[in-house]
Amino acid sequence: MERRELIQWLVATAGLQTLDTLDASDLLALGRDVHRSGGTRALSPLAKNNVSVAAERILPGAGAAGVTPFIDKMLADWYTPDERRRFLAGLPELDAKSRARAGLDFLACGEADQIAVLTALDDEVTALRAARGSAANQHWFAMLKYLTVYGWCTSEAGMRALGLFPLPGRYDGCAPV
Amino acid sequence: MKEVTDFDAIVVGSGMTGGWAAKELTELGLRTLVLEAGRAITPERDFVEHKPPWDMPFRGLGDRRTVAARQPTQSHSVSFDEWSHVFWTDDADNPYSTPADRPFYWFRARQVGGKSTIWSRQVYRLSDLDFEANVRDGIAIDWPIRYADIAPWYDHVERFIGVSGQAEGLAHLPDGQFLPPMAMNCVEQHVKERMRAHFGRDRMLTIGRAANLTVPHLGRAPCHYCGPCHRGCITLSYFSSINATLPAAQATGRLTLRPFSVVRSLIHNPQKNRVTGVHVIDAVTKTDRVYTARIVFLCASALESARILLNSGLANSSDQVGRNIMDHIKWGGANGDFEGWTNRREIGERPNGIYVPRFRNVASRHPDFIRGYGFQGAASRGGWGDALRAPGIGAALKARVAQLGPWSMSLWGFGETLPRPTNRATLHPTLVDRWGIPTLHIECQWSDNELAIHRDMNVTAAELLESAGAKNIEPSSSVPSTPGGTNHEMGSARMGRDPKTSVLNGWNQSWDVRNVFVTDGAAMTSSGCQNPSLTYMALTARACHYAVEQMKRGDL
């Protein structure tokens, strides 16, 4: 990456107003940190990759529509520390369940095994919802799925696919489907 | 250049009624100063209705932590969201208190335009069923006016603001100067017809009467159905003071609009018993300023205007300033599903719903309560929002997200509140706002009459839906709204016929200090069940013409 490009990226990802106050070693350290995290703030590089792949499997197109940065933003700035910890503590279940099933980490698994792992987690949440209603929303996988669906439906790609964007500029209360 | 500080008229507030006072007074020839506590608004910069969710940091879910710290009360408003939150006040800067067990939501907007930017734009006339209600029921005091007094002013206001609606010929919900109505969707049309077959004209359904344009009107473009009006409207297609009245006032060349001007109190000359001006604190520099004028219009919103009077120690020989606070009780109603029309959908976001005019205590007498309520609502098909917690993953989930749900219809009641002197705001003995101005302590709670109205909403909403063939009818399980929560607070400086029991006469003029007028919701003697802004605007225009006539005659 070119230095100029790196600085622009740093400004964008770390939200710095100015880099004037940083000396060369600060810049290098910051660059290493941002590289290591892949530009995310709450998600580690591994967590980020797991979330990206899981999101794509949960809702095809979600990864390309950029739900991972949205999920990272929500974890960093919206959820409570408890909620964030619950999510981040639950996420390694992807690897644990994948190893139990296929002997491989989640990212190393083939698509079929990844889908099987996610389906098992979804079934777990569905059973929890049947037993405990909206308390199931606190499950880390329920959080991931909610953020994935919400993130896609509010992305440009998602809203175009759902026919919600661009706006029609008129009202018809009885239009053919 | 030296700042001009002397005017013919000062208007406190630049929103729904302040904008009307500015327009009428300047058009009648007065050099008018409008004082606004908050910032200026530039539509091109500040209106964000077309900003898509993916351009918002939290995609519309709001900045939860900042809201919890700075706007915990304002965020309860139905039109508060990640886009519009900038149009509501900062609760930390603008504190008030209530008893711990009796919350009151005081929704406030401090910027040019006030709450006229974020209102829901529903406009209904009161009728003599409302103006005669107190005297008929033998409660509180009689209104000093009747429908005939205000009807021409309703016409005057409607012609300017532009109201889309359907004339129905109801005596208790008079028709107005309507632009073409917005369309109902197929299910609403069906419900309307079934209700007519079942209830005749006793309970009927009409399209909402909304200050949203359906045709070009006085240089403003018709609605383009983008949906979130409360984030502003770059095409000026709904009425707000920014979109319509303030530009009209500006065009006269006689308007001075001063943002960041927090009014602390009115300045009184006891020898002449007149208000000579207004004590302002500059919101930015916190320095004191004084502006003088021959007349002052308080249009600061019901509780803020009462607060200014209380902080001034004026216009309160009746001890009614701050009392008789009313709102509309809500969250009663019902929802039901409709089978069919699966090959039909809505296109565009209609910023309006349907209306069921009041039917209780109109022709008959209900045993449990006096007054009544109207329903607002809409039929629609569920969308992706219903799939956020749906089971399944992968292509099946994606198909579920894209699927339209069944048609369903919701009806929500807006119930009349009785004026009671114990529902009251007083000056807090110690609490002040960011500008050091004493703030309010508000004690307000529903009476048995409002609670009975709220229970009845659930019953009759279900009946209406049942008459139309709805399935899975669910009456509302919500507790009554928190007082203030409908943002229709009113009554805190009421009009009346007797200076001993009212603050204002039949022209919104202070009995005690004749050159002070209060024309926002504070003036209301009873609440009706109709959305009240239209009445505030009509009363404002009427009072302005009266005041200028009085000035010309030398009486003011």
Q: Could you read off the pLDDT of A65-81 as tens digits, one per residue?
A: 999 999 999 999 999 99
The predicted complex's ipTM stands at 0.93
Single out the residue of B541, B508, B542 nearest to residue B523, CA to CA. Answer: B508
Shared domain for A22 and A75, answered yes or no, is no
DSSP state letter for B245? I
Does residue B307 sit in helix, strand or coil?
A: helix
| B344 bridge partner residues | A176
Question: Under a CB-based contact definition with an 8 Å cutoff, are residues B548 and B29 in contact?
Answer: yes
Tell whether the model's pLDDT for residue A2 goes beyond 80. Answer: no
Alpha carbon of A120: minimum distance to chain B alpha carbons (Å): 10
Shared domain for A9 and A76, answered yes or no, is no
Contacts with B552 (C-beta within 8 Å, 6 or more apart), sequence order? none
Tell whether the model's pLDDT for residue A8 goes beyond 50. Answer: no
pLDDT for the residue A32: 52
Per the structure, the count of domains in chain A is 2
Cβ-defined contact of B185 to A174 (cutoff 8 Å): yes
Number of neighbouring beta carbons within 10 Å of residue B527: 30
Shared domain for A102 and A80, answered yes or no, is yes
Cβ-defined contact of B183 to A172 (cutoff 8 Å): yes
Q: Is the peptide bond before B181 cis (omega within 30 degrees of 0)?
A: no
Question: How many Å apart are CA B328 and CA B390, to the nearest integer?
Answer: 36
Token reading at A129: 């919802």
pTM for the model: 0.94
Shared domain for A46 and A80, answered yes or no, is yes
Interface size A-B, in CB pairs within 8 Å, comes to: 128
Cβ-defined contact of B188 to A168 (cutoff 8 Å): no
| First-to-last C-alpha distance (Å) of chain B | 31
Token reading at A92: 């390694």
DSSP H or E segment with residue B169: none
Contacts with B510 (C-beta within 8 Å, 6 or more apart), sequence order? B314, B315, B503, B504, B516, B517, B518
Shared domain for A154 and A78, answered yes or no, is yes
Name the amino acid, one letter, at A3. Answer: R
Shared domain for A137 and A61, answered yes or no, is yes
**CB-facing half-sphere around the CA of A55: CA atoms within 13 A:** 28
pLDDT for the residue B2: 79
What backbone phi and psi angles, to 5 degrees, belong to A92?
Answer: -60, -10
Structure-token match 């063939």, residue found? B469
Shared domain for A7 and A69, answered yes or no, is no
**Which CB contacts under 8 angstroms, 24+ apart, belong to B316-321?**
B316/B503, B316/B512, B317/B499, B317/B500, B317/B511, B317/B512, B318/B499, B318/B500, B318/B501, B318/B502, B318/B503, B318/B511, B320/B421, B320/B493, B320/B494, B320/B501, B320/B502, B320/B503, B321/B492, B321/B493, B321/B503
pLDDT-based confidence at A6, cuts 50/70/90? very low
Letter string b/e over residues B300-313, b meaning 16 or more CB atoms within 10 A of that residue's CB: bbbbbbbbbbbbbe
Residue A168 lies in a domain: no
pLDDT in tens, B41-82: 999 999 999 999 999 999 999 999 999 999 999 999 999 999
Cβ-defined contact of A162 to B183 (cutoff 8 Å): no
Nearest-5° Cα angle at B428, B423 to B429: 135
Tell whether the model's pLDDT for residue A7 goes beyond 70. Answer: no
Token reading at A24: 């060369």
Question: How many Å apart are CA A69 and CA B190, to the nearest integer?
Answer: 45
Residue A176 lies in a domain: no
pLDDT in tens, A77-131: 999 999 999 999 999 999 999 999 999 999 999 999 999 999 999 999 999 999 9
Residue A174 lies in a domain: no
pLDDT for the residue B3: 87
Question: Under a CB-based contact definition with an 8 Å cutoff, are residues B199 and A145 in contact?
Answer: no
Cβ-defined contact of A177 to B224 (cutoff 8 Å): no
**CB-facing half-sphere around the CA of B100: CA atoms within 13 A:** 0
Residue A22 lies in a domain: yes
Question: How many Å apart are CA B497 and CA A64, to the nearest integer?
Answer: 68
Candidate from B60, B185, B224 with C-beta closest to A154: B60
Contacts with B294 (C-beta within 8 Å, 6 or more apart), sequence order? B8, B9, B515, B551, B556
pLDDT for the residue A37: 53
Candidate from B59, B224, B345 with C-beta closest to A175: B345
Number of neighbouring beta carbons within 10 Å of residue A132: 12
Candidate from A162, A168, A174 with C-beta closest to B186: A174
Question: How many Å apart are CA A20 and CA A127, to the nearest integer?
Answer: 54
Shared domain for A93 and A119, answered yes or no, is yes
Does residue B128 sit in helix, strand or coil?
A: helix
B387 CB-contact burial (10 Å; exposed 0-12 / middle 13-18 / buried 19+): buried
Question: How many Å apart are CA A115 and CA A118, to the nearest integer?
Answer: 5
Chain A residue closest in CA terms to B184 = A173
Residue A93 lies in a domain: yes
Shared domain for A65 and A148, answered yes or no, is yes
DSSP state letter for B203? S
Single out the residue of B227, B527, B318 nearest to residue A169, CA to CA. Answer: B227
Percent of chain A with pLDDT over 90: 78
Residue A46 lies in a domain: yes
What range does the domain containing A92 cover? 42-161
Q: In sequence order, which ranges of B279-424 are alpha helices (DSSP H)?
A: 302-312, 395-402
- Which residues does chain B have within 8 Å of residue A156's beta carbon, measured at their own beta carbons? 52, 54
**Which CB contacts under 8 angstroms, 24+ apart, belong to B550-553?**
B551/B8, B551/B30, B551/B294, B551/B295
Residue A14 lies in a domain: yes
Shared domain for A22 and A48, answered yes or no, is no
Cβ-defined contact of A162 to B398 (cutoff 8 Å): no
Token reading at A173: 């209360």
What distances in angstroms separate CA A90 from CA A39, A50, A95, A128, B226, one per listed residue? 22, 12, 10, 15, 40
Kindly give the pairing relationship between strand B178-179 and strand B163-164.
parallel
- Which residues does chain A have within 8 Å of residue B346's beta carbon, measured at their own beta carbons? 171-175
Cβ-defined contact of B394 to A167 (cutoff 8 Å): no
Tell whether the model's pLDDT for residue A14 goes beyond 70. Answer: no
Residue A167 lies in a domain: no
Shared domain for A138 and A100, answered yes or no, is yes
Candidate from B64, B226, B397 with C-beta closest to A78: B64
Structure-token match 């991972």, residue found? A68
pLDDT for the residue B14: 98
Helix H, strand E, coil C: the string for chain A is CCHHHHHHHHHHHHCCCCCCCCCHHHHHHHHHHHHHHCCCCCCCHHHHHHHHHHHHHHCCCCCCCCHHHHHHHHHHHCCCHHHHHHHHHHCCHHHHHHHHHHCCCHHHCCHHHHHHHHHHHHHHHHHHHHHHHHHHHHCHHHHHHHHHHHHHHCCHHHHHHCCCCCCCCCCEEEEEC
pLDDT for the residue B345: 97
Question: How many Å apart are CA B146 and CA B133, to the nearest integer?
Answer: 11
Token reading at B3: 């700042």
Alpha carbon of B100: minimum distance to chain A alpha carbons (Å): 26
pLDDT for the residue A25: 57
Question: How many Å apart are CA B457 and CA B412, to the nearest integer?
Answer: 8
Question: How many Å apart are CA B398 and CA A61, to the nearest integer?
Answer: 9
Shared domain for A93 and A11, answered yes or no, is no
Token reading at A151: 């993130």
Single out the residue of B445, B440, B386, B394 nearest to residue B420, CA to CA. Answer: B445
- Which residues does chain A have within 8 Å of residue B402's beta carbon, measured at their own beta carbons? 161-162
pLDDT averaged over every residue in chain A: 86
Nearest-5° Cα angle at B389, A97 to B51: 115
pLDDT for the residue A12: 39
Structure-token match 């880099």, residue found? A19
What distances in angstroms separate CA B266 from CA B112, B516, B544, one per listed residue? 21, 9, 19
Given a cut of 50, the residues of chain B with pLDDT beneath it are: none
Single out the residue of B413, B405, B411 nearest to residue B346, CA to CA. Answer: B405
